[in-house]
Amino acid sequence: MNASTALLTDRYELTMVDAALKAGTANRDSVFELFARRLSGARKYGVVAGMGRLLEAIQDFRFTETELSWLREENVVGAETLDWLADYRFRGNLWGYPEGEVFFPGSPILIVEGTFAEAVLLETLALSILNADSAVATAASRMVTSSKGKPLAEMGSRRTGEIQAVAAARAAYIAGFGATSNLEAGRRYGIPTMGTAAHSFTLLHDSEREAFQAQIDAHGAGTTLLIDTYDIEEGVRTAVEVAGTGLGAVRIDSGDLPVVVAEVRAQLDELGATQTKITVTNDLDEFTVAALASSPVDSFGVGTSVVVGSGTPTMGMVYKLVARRGDDGDWVSVAKKSADKASVGGRKSVKRRFGKNGRADAELIFLGDGPAGVEEGAELGESAREVLVPLATDGVIDERYLGRAGVALARERHAASIRELPAKAMSLTRGDPVLPTQYR
């Protein structure tokens, strides 16, 4: 077992369990849903990311003596609850949108079925992982569609926390980025890594020429040389003189990029380095990527914008109780009615409907018997597919969604789900979700 994740939560999760155990309601069968009421940033769609990380964290959600001793010392809960926590294992069922899938307002991204006590404890953990990772993946997906097929690399580790940096690299890769600068993300998830030199390497040497020569001596002429430490035009000339016309690539990290890129491309061609690639960095986001996609840029490196969700650092997801067993054993739908924060009660299943053009046209949420409650049939009148998949059964996690294999599967799922969307989903303008959510 890895380090316990049990205290990566809010205090009130445990105090609710404490009170429910005393009231005799802790063991009521319950259904919680994690969803977003709206798409933050007025995006056209959201992207689920972090589900594999969450499943791994749930496996490690255990209260060892270390956690129990601290809770006892801080008088967070009573002795009865401490005894209950010592035996805690999530033994319920999890359903959800597979990682990489797109989602919309009201989409039940995660459905947690279990007793109230065992399910409510997962609220903060689930929200903290899925909100942050999905925000990164949503921003990254918009950048990928804006790049018109040109590769992107994630390089934002220095602009977020060290743990979230690894998670962000993972989420960006799921959404279609091709590489990361973060070595831990590469080791843990098999993501290709990239990176050569910063401006400090050039400044270390007595001249730009010496810096370029040192880099080429170490890494060969196929490396990427950073040409804007001093004068870009002189940098290009020196780079080709040192590396020859077989220079792999040059990187530009400053200036009026559309103008500079065109000038650098012309200069490289004039010097005979017609196969040398151009990569750009310099605080890119989906809008600058879109503006440069038709220019002679060959690849993009994105840092700050992608790891902070490009202005939308969280997806606004919430975790709500939607059904519980009554004293008679029947399911009772429950829902919050607060103004602007209302939820839709009941156990749910989801299908995505497709129009005659083969593109998705609606997200259908069925109120009834839960994720497996909609039978295949002609009642929809159009083609549709199931969206929810089982993630854990009786507490046993489906290991297909974990580790490197889970990341690869999520990357494939995202590419497929994006292909299903209508073309207007790729617009960067603020607006309504590209698919309506319909309850049935």
| Confidence band of 339 (pLDDT split at 50, 70, 90) | confident
Q: Are residues 131 and 270 in the same domain?
A: no
Mean pLDDT of the chain: 95
Question: 83: how many CB neighbours lie within 10 A of its CB?
Answer: 11
pLDDT of residue 371: 87
Q: What is the mean pLDDT of residues 214-241?
A: 98
Could you tell me if 353 and 320 are in contact, meaning their C-beta atoms sit under 8 angstroms apart?
no
In a domain, 4, yes or no: no
pLDDT of residue 378: 39
In a domain, 369, yes or no: no
Could you tell me if 434 and 107 are in contact, meaning their C-beta atoms sit under 8 angstroms apart?
no
Q: Are residues 132 and 152 in the same domain?
A: no
Residue 375 has pLDDT above 60, yes or no: no
pLDDT per residue over 58-103, tens digit each? 999 999 999 999 999 999 999 999 999 999 999 999 999 999 999 9
Query: Which residues is 3 bridged to in the sheet?
Result: none
In a domain, 359, yes or no: no
pLDDT of residue 376: 46
pLDDT of residue 126: 98
DSSP codes of every residue in 209-278 = HHHHHHHHHHH-TTSEEE--SS-HHHHHHHHHHHH-TT--EEEE-SS-HHHHHHHHHHHHHHTT-TT-EE
Task: For residue 196, give every residue at least 6 positions away whose Cβ sits within 8 Å of its Cβ, in sequence order, or none.
Answer: 215, 219, 223, 224, 225, 226, 251
Host domain of residue 234: 140-307
In a domain, 121, yes or no: yes
- Check which CATH number belongs to the domain holding 23 and give it: 3.20.140.10
Quick one: which H or E segment has residue 27? none
Residue 340 has pLDDT above 80, yes or no: no
pLDDT per residue over 257-308, tens digit each? 999 999 999 999 999 999 999 999 989 999 999 999 999 999 999 999 999 9
What whole-number distance in Å separates Cα of residue 238 and Cα of residue 361?
54
Q: Are residues 109 and 172 in the same domain?
A: no
In a domain, 382, yes or no: no
Buried b (16+ CB within 10 A) or exposed e, 202-212: beeeeebbebb
Domains contained in the chain, number: 2
Which token pair is 128?
Answer: 């903290």
* Edge-to-edge strands, sheet with 93-96: 331-333, 317-325, 29-36, 110-115, 93-96, 389-393, 396-397
What whole-number distance in Å separates Cα of residue 225 and Cα of residue 221?
9
pLDDT per residue over 92-135, tens digit each? 999 999 999 999 999 999 999 999 999 999 999 999 999 999 99
Q: Are residues 236 and 324 in the same domain?
A: no
Q: What is the mean pLDDT of residues 50-62?
A: 98
